[in-house]
Structure 1
Amino acid sequence: MELRHLRYFVAVAEELNFTRAAERLHIGQPPLSQQIQALEEKLGVQLFERTKRRVALTPAGQRFLEHARRVLEQAGRAVEDVRRMARGEVGELKIGFTSSLPFTAVLPNVVRRYREQRPDVTLNLREMFTPDQYTAIEAGELDLGFVRYTGLETPAGLDVREIHHDPLRLVINAAHPLASRPVLSLADLHGEGFITYPITVGTGLTILLRELCLKAGFEPRIVQIAGEATTQIGLVAAGLGVALLPAPLECVRIEGVRYLPVSDAGAYLSLGVATRKGDRNPLVAQFLSNLEPPREG
C-alpha cells in the first residue's frame, strides 16, 4: 500500500463521488475507480457501497478513513520536519566551550542571536578543555567547539576558525612591588614564581607562558598548578605567585589582586571555533553565520 492509495481513498470518502474526487486529484475517473478497487482487494474488505445513485462508506470504510487521515497527517508532518531539518530550523546542536568563554560576550551574543533565529533548535552546551573538545568533535559527540588553541596542534580532521583575540593579563598580588605599575613585560617577572594550568589540560596557556618567558630571556619557575582559572586567582591573592590569564577573567574580583596589561608581542590567546572538515550539517552552518569576524583585543 502506498500513500497515494490513501490519498485517493480519502478524496473519494470526503467527496462521496468518484467524478468530483478524480477532478480534485487531477486524474481520470476510471483509473481512480481501479485504484480504489485494488485497495479494497488488497485489504480484503469493502470500503464503499456503490449504487448508480450514490456512493457511501461502509462501517469498515469509516474506520479506515480515521486511520488514513492520521497516517497522511503524520506523513505530512514527517516531510515538513525533514525539510526544516535540511534548512537548519529544527534539531539539536551540541556545542563545547572553554571555561573562560562565559566571561566574554562572544558566547552569550552568538547564542542569543541563534536562538532568536532558530527557536526550535535545542542547544546542548558543554564546558570542556580544548583537547577534549577536539576528541569529542572527531567522535561526533560535539558538532562544534569554542577552543583556545595558541600553542596547540589542530587535529587533521578538524577546521579551526579564529574569531577573537584576548590579550593576556598578569594577575599579581596587590602588595607586590610591581603591582603599582600600569603595564608589565615578562622580563620584569624574572625570578617570580608562576601559577599555571597543568600541561595535560591543554589550554595552550602553559606553553605560551613558557614561550613568552623564553623570549624574555628566562625559563619560568612554576610554583603552583591549578586546573581552574578562579583557583589560580585565589592563589595569587594568597601570595603564592603570579599568574598569566586571558583579559576577560578580570571580571573575577578577589580582594588583594590586580590585573596588569602585558606589553610583550604575542601576549594574547586566540579563541577559535572548531568543526569537522567537510561537515555539511545545516545547523552548524547557520550557527557559524552568526559569528563575528576576529577582532584584536
Structure 2
Amino acid sequence: MELRHLRYFVAVAEELSFTRAAERLHIGQPPLSMQIRDLEEEIGTRLFERSKRRVALTEAGLRFLEHAREILARSQAATDEARRAGRGELGELRVGFTSSLPYTTTLADVLHTYRRDFPQVGLLLREMFTVDQFEALLRGDIDVGFVRYRGLDVPPGIVTREIGRDALRLVVNSSHPLAVRTEVSLAELREEGFVAYPPDVGTGLPAIVGELCRGAGFEPRIVQRAREATTQIGLVASGLGVAVLPAPLECVRLPRVRYLAISDEGAYLSLAVARAERPPSPVLRTFLDVLVRIAAPPG
C-alpha cells in the first residue's frame, strides 16, 4: 500500500464519484478505478458500494477513511517538518559566549533577531572562557562560540571570524592620582600593582596585557588574581591595585571605581565568532546568516 492509494481513496470518498475524483486528481477514471480495486484487494474487503447511479462508502470504508486522512496528514506534517529542518527553521543550536559579551549589544542583538526569525529553534547558551569554547567546538558540545581569541593560539580545526573590537580600559580606584584623567598610557603604570586573571584561566587578556606592558618597557607586577572580571573590579574598588579589562565592563558601576581609556596602540580585545572547520548544520547556517546581517566586521 502506497500513499497514492490513500490519496486516491480519500478523493473518491469525499467526492463519492469516480468521475469527479479523477478530475480532482488529474488522472483518468479507468486507472483510478483500477487503483481502488487494487487497494480493496490488498485490504481484503470492499470500501465502496458501486452502482450506475451512486457510489457510497461501506462500513469498512467509513472506518478506513478516518485512518487514511490521519496518515496523509501525518505524512504531510513529516514532510513539512523535514523541509523546515533542512532550511534551518527547526532544531537546536548550542551557543558559547565569553563572560564580557552580555555587557555588549552584540549578543543581545543577534539572539533577539535570531529568535524572532527562527522561533522554532531551541537555543542553549553556555558562558565559557574562550579556550573552553575551542575545546567544546572540537568535541561537538557546542555549535558556535563568541570568543575573545586575540592573545591565544586558535587550535587546528577551528574557524574564526572577527566581528568586532573592544578597547581596553584601565580600572582604577577613585582615590588613585590617575583617576582625574580620561586617558593614560601604560608606561605610566610601571610602579603599579595589577589585579589580573590567572594565566591558565582560558582568556587571551593576560597575554595581551603582558605584551602591551613589555612594549611600554616593564613587566606588570601582579598583586592579586581573580577568575571573574567583576571580582577584579571589586578588588580595585577595595584599593588592592589596578586592572585592565574590556571597555564593555564599564557598565559595572561600583563606588570608588573609575575607567580610563588607554592610549597605547593595540590596546583592544577582538571579538570573533568561532565554529568547527566542517560543513555547518542548517540551523548553524541560518544563525551565521543572521550574524552577518547584525554584527558587521570592523571597518
Q: TM-score, normalised by structure 2?
A: 0.93
Corresponding residue to 1:291 among 290, 294, 298: 294
| Contact 1:168/1:246 (8 A) holds in 2 | yes
Is 1:105 paired with 2:102?
no
- After superposition, residues 68-79 of structure 1 pair within 5 angstroms as 68-79=68-79
Helix, strand or coil: the match of 1:126? strand
**Aligned counterpart, 1:53:** 53
**Aligned counterpart, 2:186:** 186
| Contact 1:48/1:57 (8 A) holds in 2 | yes
| Contact 1:165/1:294 (8 A) holds in 2 | no
CA distance in 1, matches of 2:179, 2:144: 39
* CA drift at 1:163: 0.6
**Aligned counterpart, 2:225:** 225
In the alignment of these two chains, the number of paired residues is 296
- After superposition, residues 164-183 of structure 1 pair within 5 angstroms as 164-183=164-183
CA distance in 1, matches of 2:254, 2:108: 24
**Aligned counterpart, 1:282:** 282
- After superposition, residues 131-280 of structure 1 pair within 5 angstroms as 131-280=131-280
CA distance in 2, matches of 1:155, 1:53: 78
CA distance in 2, matches of 1:280, 1:262: 39
**Aligned counterpart, 1:91:** 91
* CA drift at 1:186: 1.6
Helix, strand or coil: the match of 1:200? coil
* CA drift at 1:134: 1.7
Helix, strand or coil: the match of 1:250? helix
What percent identity do the matched residue pairs reach? 63
Stretches of structure 2 that go unaligned for 5 or more consecutive residues are none
* CA drift at 1:16: 1.6
CA distance in 1, matches of 2:68, 2:280: 36
CA distance in 1, matches of 2:74, 2:200: 51
| Contact 1:163/1:291 (8 A) holds in 2 | no
CA distance in 1, matches of 2:195, 2:77: 57
The one-letter amino acid of 2:224's match is Q
In structure 2, do the counterparts of structure 1 residues 135 and 44 end up closer, same or farther at CA, with 3 Å as the change threshold?
farther
* CA drift at 1:55: 1.9
Helix, strand or coil: the match of 1:240? coil
CA distance in 2, matches of 1:158, 1:74: 40
* CA drift at 1:100: 0.5
* CA drift at 1:292: 2.5
CA distance in 2, matches of 1:222, 1:128: 24
Deviations 1:70-99 (A, max 9, x none): 111111122122222222333322211111
CA distance in 1, matches of 2:276, 2:169: 32
Deviations 1:207-255 (A, max 9, x none): 1111111111222222222111100000111111111100010110111
Helix, strand or coil: the match of 2:71? helix
Helix, strand or coil: the match of 1:63? helix
Structure 1 range deviating more: 214-223 or 261-270: 214-223
**Aligned counterpart, 1:65:** 65
Is 1:13 paired with 2:16?
no
Q: TM-score, normalised by structure 1?
A: 0.93
Stretches of structure 1 that go unaligned for 5 or more consecutive residues are none
RMSD, aligned CA: 1.7
